[in-house]
């Protein structure tokens, strides 16, 4: 899992791992969410990958666009 840069300074995101058609996002509370093309849509996943790599805006995007569109949740 890659560390999220959190350039905005106030993100709840700790880390992420991008796959071909998915992204797993780990939050500071220890919960990890798997978002896939099937669960959240390809364009949303690709946007999430770009935001994750850029280190800013991922948490806000998730809250606004894909909050409950995850395929799986784990701790």
Using CA atoms, how far apart are residues 8 and 58, in angstroms rounded to an integer? 10
Given this model, what pLDDT does residue 58 score? 98
Given this model, what pLDDT does residue 11 score? 95
Residue 36: which domain range? 2-74
Domain count, the chain: 1
- In the sheet that holds 32-36, the strands lie side by side as 2-3, 13-18, 22-27, 32-36, 72-74
Structure tokens of 27? 């939050």
pLDDT < 70 positions in the chain: none
């Amino acid at each position: 899992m890659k560390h999220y840069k959190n350039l905005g300074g106030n993100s709840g995101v700790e880390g992420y791992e991008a796959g071909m058609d998915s992204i797993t996002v780990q939050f500071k509370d220890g919960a990890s969410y798997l978002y896939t093309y099937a669960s959240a849509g390809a364009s949303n996943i690709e946007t999430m990958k770009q935001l994750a790599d850029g280190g800013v805006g991922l948490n806000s995007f998730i809250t606004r666009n894909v909050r409950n569109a995850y395929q799986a949740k784990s701790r």
